[in-house]
Structure 1
Amino acid sequence: MTRGGEPYLLLTGPLFIGSLFNWSLLGTLVIQTYVYYSSRYNDSKWITGLVVATLSLDIVQTVFATHAIWQILILGWGNPATFAELPWTAYTFPVMSGTVAALVQFFFSWRIWVLGRNKIAYIVAIVIDLVAVMQMVAGLVGGIQTAFIPIEKVGELKPQFTVWLAGSFGADVLIVVSMLWILHQNKGGIAATNGLIDRLTVRVVHSGAVTAVAAGVELVLYILLSTTFVHDTPALFLGKLYSNVLLANLNTRRRTDNTYSSRFMTGSANSSDHPMFTVHRRPGLHSTLEGSATQLQDTTGSAKGNSGFESRKGGR
């Protein structure tokens, strides 16, 4: 039996599904933010400010997205003209998503800068920043332009939206590859440390793959199905994926970990004071790097001091 909504299934369905994921990930983000602040990390003010900024932007994005979907699916139900005159909040999807993605990508590029501490790491970090700015500006321009042209001409903005999505995908891939390279550089002749680095490598791939895959899927859907709203499903929650990945990285630490404190960020602390370089002794055993390895497992973002692992050959 034919239903009235079937002709518009590829327009209404993706918005409904995207809204569900949007609200679900907002709930996850709020919980992660609560865990972060209740843990009372001694982080620098700009790190805590970044957490507040991403949460605030994502709450505003959810309000805008809910308003747009309410106007289209509820108030505009049964009226095809609704799809030709979208509410203004629908044009904020790429703007909000691109902004949050850029903030999180700036954080990871800074982490690569601090961890690498060589020319290659510096160049990669700068490239990531430039790509992040590019995708953010492209999303902003595309979203604003969409609000001032007829709906039938939105296809003319494909270059802007392609740059937005391809930029997000490219920056994520660069971040993952760079972190894997930095972790590989820290491998040496200590089996325990190498084992933990291997597990960290898996964690980096998983966290980086989440946003990269989502941005890549949205890019493919936009190119192949640009006349539908299918690509809006990931667009509705892409920004929250970035925020959740950021909080997941910040929360996978011990409460005593000062990785992101202002002392270690500015390099004013002695490398021997950093938890990554702490050496513990056990009764009857020689000095080991077990304490160092344990802290390395707890965080993927430890800033290096002036010294490295004992058996490190050279060198996010």
Structure 2
Amino acid sequence: MARGGEPFLLLTGPLFIGSLFNWSLLGTLVIQTYVYYSSGYKDSKWIKGLVISTLSLDIVQTVFATHAVWQILILGWGNPETFTELPWTAYTFPVMSGTVAALVQFFFSWRIWVLGRTKIAYIVAIVIDLVAVMQMTSGLAAGIQTAFIPIEKVGELAPQFTIWLAGSFGADVLIVVSMLWILHQNKGGIAATNGLIDRLTVRVVHSGAVTAIAAGVELVLFIRMSTTFVHDTPALFLGKLYSNVLLANLNTRRRNDTTYSTGVISVISPDHPMFNINERPGLRSALDGSETQLDNTRGSEVKFSTPVLSDHV
């Protein structure tokens, strides 16, 4: 015997599940933001502004998403016309997600720019920025156009949705590949540095994979099931995945870290002469976070305060 809600299961169910993930990730983001500001990081003002901006946008997005889900699932319960006359807040999903994703992608492209310090790195960073702008603009266009067509014709907006989601996916992949290349270039003969780079490599892959997979899944669901709300499940929380990845990267540092205090990150290759123990028998090297300390046998100490490749970047 069929239940009353089954004809609309693929319309109501995805919104309910997406809303749960949306609120859960917002809670995680609030906690991460609290940890960030209570940790005493001496970051540049624009980094702190980025954190506040993404949090603010995500709070607004949660309000919009909750309003849309409430209108459809609660106030519209039992009325099939609800699915043909969606509330205006339902059209903000791609707009808000695309905007937050672009902000986070801008941050990572900046990090590639200052870490890579090569023409290739500069070109890749610019490409990432352009792709981020493209996907954000496409998300805005998709959200606006969806408001003026019936749900059964949403599939006609496949180009806009494809550019938005494929752009997010492509930018994430570029970020991951670029960071892996930069880390690989800085591997050398010091076991401690190589071990640290290996840990950074795993973190880069994990953080980049989360957002890339989510964007890819949403794209596939939209292409295959555009007349339902199944693709809206990841759309409801995609932006918060980006924000949480940003905060997770910023919060993996020690207190009073100054990695982002000047807007410049310096990378010293482990092959640099100052780290060549064989050529400097009187020195032993100890890597400690963003500061490299060299002690000689006489007890004197030489300290290089310029941030080096560390677990903080």
User: TM-score category by the smaller chain?
Assistant: 0.7 to 0.9
TM-score (norm 2): 0.88
1:10-41 deviation per Cα after TM superposition (whole angstroms, max 9, x unaligned): 11000000000000000000000000001121
In 1, are the aligned partners of 2:266 and 2:309 still within 8 Å (CA)?
no
Comparing 251-260 with 83-92, greater Cα deviation is found at 251-260
Aligned residue runs from structure 1 range 216-255, under 5 A: 216-255=216-255
Length, aligned pairs only: 294
Q: Structure 1 stretches (4+) deviating beyond 4 angstroms?
A: 282-289
Correspondence for 2:10: 10
- 8 Å CA contact retained: 1:275, 1:292: no
Residue of structure 1 equivalent to 2:193: 193
Does the CA-based 8 Å contact 1:258-1:264 persist in structure 2?
Answer: no
Unaligned runs of 5+ in 2: 268-273, 275-287
Deviations 1:125-148 (A, max 9, x none): 000000000000000011011112
Normalized per residue, which structure has more strand? 2
**Relative to structure 2, which stretch is displaced further, 185-194 or 236-245?**
185-194
Which residue number corresponds to residue 153 of structure 2? 153
My pick for the range that moved more, 38-47 or 149-158, is 149-158
Alpha-carbon shift at residue 281 of structure 1 (Å): 3.4
How far residue 296 of structure 1 moved from its aligned partner, in angstroms, is 4.7
Does 1:178 find its partner at 2:178?
yes
Matched residue SS, 1:262:
coil
Question: 8 Å contact 2:43–2:258 — kept in the other structure?
Answer: yes
For residue 133 of structure 2, what is the aligned residue in structure 1? 133
What aligned pairs does 1:1-316 form with structure 2 within 5 A after superposition?
Answer: 1-262=1-262, 264=264, 276-281=290-295, 296-299=309-312, 301=313
CA contact (8 A) 1:279 1:292 kept: no
Q: TM-score, normalised by structure 1?
A: 0.87
Q: Which residue of 1 aligns with 2:277?
A: none
Query: In 2, are the aligned partners of 1:169 and 1:215 still within 8 Å (CA)?
Result: yes
Q: Which has the higher helix share?
A: 1
- What is the alpha-carbon distance in structure 2 between the residues aligned to residue 282 and residue 67 of structure 1? 65
Q: Cα–Cα, structure 1 residues 282 and 4, in superposed 2: closer, same or farther, change >3 Å?
A: farther
Tell me how far apart the structure 1 counterparts of residues 136 and 46 of structure 2 sit (CA, whole Å): 20
Q: Cα offset for 1:196?
A: 1.3
Tell me: CA distance 1:47–1:195, structure 2 relative to 1, closer, same or farther (3 Å): same
* Whole-angstrom distance in 2 between the partners of 1:181 and 1:209: 16
Q: Kindly, what percent of the aligned residue pairs are identical?
A: 82
Alpha-carbon contact 1:218-1:234 (below 8 Å) kept: yes
Shift of 1:199: 1.3
8 Å Cα contact 2:290-2:310 kept in structure 1: no
Amino acid at match of 2:122: Y
State the 1:257 CA deviation: 1.5
1:151 to partner: Cα distance: 2.8
Partner-residue secondary structure (3-state), 1:279: strand
* Distance in 2 separating the partners of 1:41 and 1:211: 25
**CA-to-partner distance for each residue in 1:225-270, whole Å, 9 max, x for gaps?**
1111111000000000000000000000011210100263699xxx
Unaligned runs of 5+ in 1: 302-316
For residues 152 and 201 of structure 1, the distance between their equivalents in structure 2, rounded to whole angstroms, comes to 44
Kindly provide the amino acid, as one letter, of the partner of residue 298 in structure 1. D
Offset, 1:48 = 0.3
Q: Which residue of 2 aligns with 1:309?
A: none
Please tell me whether Structure 1 or Structure 2 has the larger radius of gyration of its CA atoms: 2
How far 1:155 sits from its partner (Å)? 1.8
CA deviation profile, 1:84-143 (whole Å, cap 9, x unmatched):
000000000000000000000000000000000110000000000000000000000110
Contact 1:254–1:298 at 8 Å: present in 2 too? no
Note the aligned Cα RMSD (angstroms).
2.7
> Partner letter of residue 276 of structure 1?
S
